[in-house]
Amino acid sequence: MTMAMTRRGTSHRLTFESLKGLRAEGYIRDSTLDQRDGSGPDIQRHDIQRFAESYSLILGQRWYTEFVSGRSVAGRKEFRQFIEDARLDLFDVLLVDHTSRFGRNQAECIRYKEEMQGLGKVVVFVSQGIISGSDRDFLNERINETLDEQYSRNLSRYVRAGKAEKAAKGHALGHAPLGYKTVKAPSGRGVHMAPDERIMPALLALLRGYACGRHSFKTLAQHLNAQGYRTSKGNPFTESSINQVVTNPFYVGKFYFHKGKQDEELRDGVHDVPEEVKTLWNECQEVRAEKARSGHPSPPSRQHRVYPLTGVLVCDGCGRPFHGVSTISKPKSYPRMFHNWHRCDMRPLSVSAPMVEGEFADRVLSQIKLDDGWEEAVIRAMTNEGSQSDCSLEVKRIESAMANLRKQHLWGVITDEEFRTEHVSLERQKRALEAARAPLMSPNLDRAAQLLSDLPALWQHPGVTPEQRRELAREVFEEVRLREGRLAAVKPRPEYAPLFAYSIWRYNVVGGDQSF
């Protein structure tokens, strides 16, 4: 049976139900890594068989099996074989357990999948529920392709579990505020916030300075800098860094859960706060309230423009940065961002700052708000094989099958030999399932995921200053590249890359240009 899938694009509307009755073959990859994390060939075969059964595909017996040692792939013989067979129209659908089994890198995955698509064949990643090339699964697929294999398999589960656990225990999430540092938890798993004796004097000087009521944020920053105090990162104080301390209830032992979201909540933290800090911070609140009553807004009314993309916006031609320039003489066409004009042929030399910031928000940040949150989408993409409870259901199913088997044996319905064979097989499935579901650990990903999922809300939040926006942009992105006045690509920092793959953005931002 050959379905009319020869045109590129047909698979864009495919659902699992529409695969019913098609001829399928399985692709399996065998490696020491797969065996170690409990996803060896048996499990992959089992997942593929289960999928074919569930959706009534006719599963053939070819079982293309690749042997991989380390990171090298010997010859990709099986790849050539199934592509050859696809050309001869020997099957309609190729079933693969997981995107991470399919290729060593994204370019390779895409090449093979496109070749299959060109031949009118469908590739399905069964344990993630991804139909390759379908619009619905486009992002899932791209995320998984760009993830490191280990991340792709294990880390998302940890993100979710780790974050919930941390918040439940009252740990403030995100960066350590002034005077604090993140330290490894005694258990060795995760981090928590502890006072940093090195920076504590700066914090106390700041709080005392503001509590005395004589300073604005600006004059206090100047005062602290003149006395030689610096922030945790060793930078001079700014109005923004003063603002961050004076408005942060962290210093009375609280923390924000889901900051900037609808369900934002101020919770009691477990971090230690010295009594002196608490007292001073409360005094600062009185000063703030007093200033507000007497008509002294905390930030000065005349503020120079801050360019949130400074430090990340670069030219796609020469790689050099764009800098903000504002002038009062030509208010109509300014503020603008310029890049080094005498060293590069890329035009235009400058762009309107509000325009490029708007484009960044619309075309990059808004993409993070998928479904109910980017992070959720990433997690689903990576662990679509089922939640912990689904897994225990599956184990239960196998256990009840084993119980039935024992009954049948007891009643003499099956022979000793049949019982033994079947029992061994079920036992193995059960063990492998349990092993595959054992979570691994990732220390930084929960932090990254939290910030990333908060980013669109934070960026739009009226309480977030341009300086804070700039910090957010620098925290998450290494580069935002501008070509001919338009955003061409964005590159996240390495710790965000697993969640936020460069190529996904490249693809989305450029609108279909897949030049990796």
In the complex, which residues of this chain contact Zn ion (CB under 5 A)?
A: 315, 317-318, 344, 346
- The residues with which 489 forms a beta bridge, in sequence order, are 481
Burial class (CB in 10 A: 0-12, 13-18, 19+), 419: middle
User: Looking at beta carbons only, is 359 or 495 nearer to Zn ion?
Assistant: 359
Cβ pair 258, 264 in contact under 8 A: yes
Cβ pair 41, 28 in contact under 8 A: yes
Smallest separation (angstroms) from Zn ion to the CB of 472: 25
User: Looking at beta carbons only, is 314 or 382 nearer to Zn ion?
Assistant: 314
Give residues with Cβ within 8 angstroms of 373, minimum separation 6. Answer: 453
Smallest separation (angstroms) from Zn ion to the CB of 341: 9
Smallest separation (angstroms) from Zn ion to the CB of 55: 51
User: Looking at beta carbons only, is 318 or 438 nearer to Zn ion?
Assistant: 318
User: Looking at beta carbons only, is 181 or 486 nearer to Zn ion?
Assistant: 486
- Element at 96 (helix H, strand E): strand 93-96
Burial class (CB in 10 A: 0-12, 13-18, 19+), 447: buried
Cβ pair 436, 100 in contact under 8 A: no
Q: Cβ of 166: how many Cβ atoms within 10 Å?
A: 19
Smallest separation (angstroms) from Zn ion to the CB of 342: 10
> What span, in angstroms and rounded, lies between the C-alpha atoms of 332 and 192?
48
Distance of CA 243 to the CA centre of its chain: 29
> The tokens 């798993």 sit on which residue?
189
User: Looking at beta carbons only, is 9 or 348 nearer to Zn ion?
Assistant: 348
User: Looking at beta carbons only, is 168 or 318 nearer to Zn ion?
Assistant: 318
- Kind of pairing, strands 336-339 and 322-325? antiparallel
- The residues with which 26 forms a beta bridge, in sequence order, are 95
φ/ψ of 183, rounded to 5, equals -125, 155
Q: Say whether 467 sits in a helix, a strand or coil.
A: helix
φ/ψ of 182, rounded to 5, equals -90, 130
Distances (CA, A) of 207 to 239, 281, 282, 287, 348: 14, 6, 10, 11, 46
User: Looking at beta carbons only, is 445 or 482 nearer to Zn ion?
Assistant: 482
User: Looking at beta carbons only, is 318 or 440 nearer to Zn ion?
Assistant: 318
Smallest separation (angstroms) from Zn ion to the CB of 485: 12
> The tokens 């709080």 sit on which residue?
207
Smallest separation (angstroms) from Zn ion to the CB of 320: 5
Q: Cβ of 91: how many Cβ atoms within 10 Å?
A: 23
> The tokens 């998302």 sit on which residue?
156
User: Looking at beta carbons only, is 90 or 318 nearer to Zn ion?
Assistant: 318
User: Looking at beta carbons only, is 197 or 345 nearer to Zn ion?
Assistant: 345
User: Looking at beta carbons only, is 126 or 353 nearer to Zn ion?
Assistant: 353
Smallest separation (angstroms) from Zn ion to the CB of 479: 13
> What span, in angstroms and rounded, lies between the C-alpha atoms of 327 and 334?
7
User: Looking at beta carbons only, is 71 or 342 nearer to Zn ion?
Assistant: 342
Cβ pair 382, 501 in contact under 8 A: no
Q: Cβ of 14: how many Cβ atoms within 10 Å?
A: 21
Beta strand ranges found along 186-335 (DSSP E): 191-195, 254-257, 265-268, 313-315, 322-325
> The tokens 């997942």 sit on which residue?
47
Nearest to 247 by CA among 295, 281, 274: 281
Give residues with Cβ within 8 angstroms of 421, minimum separation 6. Answer: none
User: Looking at beta carbons only, is 318 or 355 nearer to Zn ion?
Assistant: 318
Compute the 3-state secondary structure of the chain and give helix, strand, coil in percent, each to the nearest 5: 45, 15, 40
